[in-house]
Amino acid sequence: MFISSAYAQTAAAGGAESSLLSLLPLVLMFVVLYFIMIRPQMKKQKEHKAMIDALAKGDEVVIAGGVLGRVSKLGDSIVNVEVAGGVELQVQRASVLQVLPKGTYK
């Protein structure tokens, strides 16, 4: 009287296709994420590594923190940067952010 009869529904014929279609937006989002975020970041890291490997004595650089200076000594992982007359900072190679054009730093 108060309980109605429940009838089972038949299964859809395209069950495998619908599961593949439900994964399509997730795959599409990953592909877009790769081309918008991951690939440009990898390219930027590669350019930074090439810049650090090409450092030479006398290059004018910007190190982390915005300090300008001239490379006075190079080591495997340490760079000495002269920021003023007789004042040198020892920094890691990775902290060099940019190599400036010659004549920028005086």
Which CATH number is 65's domain given? 2.30.30
Q: Identify the pLDDT of residue 73.
A: 94
Asked whether residue 87 is assigned to any structural domain, the reply reads yes
How large is the average pLDDT for residues 44-56?
Answer: 95
Asked whether residue 38 is assigned to any structural domain, the reply reads no
Asked whether residue 10 is assigned to any structural domain, the reply reads no
Asked whether residue 72 is assigned to any structural domain, the reply reads yes
| Domain interval for residue 68 | 55-100
Give the span between the Cα atoms of 93 and 6, in whole angstroms.
72
Counts of helices then strands in the chain (DSSP H, E):
2, 5
How large is the average pLDDT for residues 97-102?
Answer: 93
Asked whether residue 95 is assigned to any structural domain, the reply reads yes
Cβ contact 61:55 at 8 Å = yes
Structural domains in the chain (count): 1
Asked whether residue 33 is assigned to any structural domain, the reply reads no
Enter the tokens of residue 46.
């590669």
pLDDT tens-digit map of 17-36: 777 788 888 999 999 999 99
The residues pairing with 89 across neighbouring beta strands, listed in sequence order, are 81
Measured in whole angstroms, the distance separating CA 26 from the mean position of its chain's CA atoms is 23
Cβ contact 79:73 at 8 Å = yes
Asked whether residue 93 is assigned to any structural domain, the reply reads yes
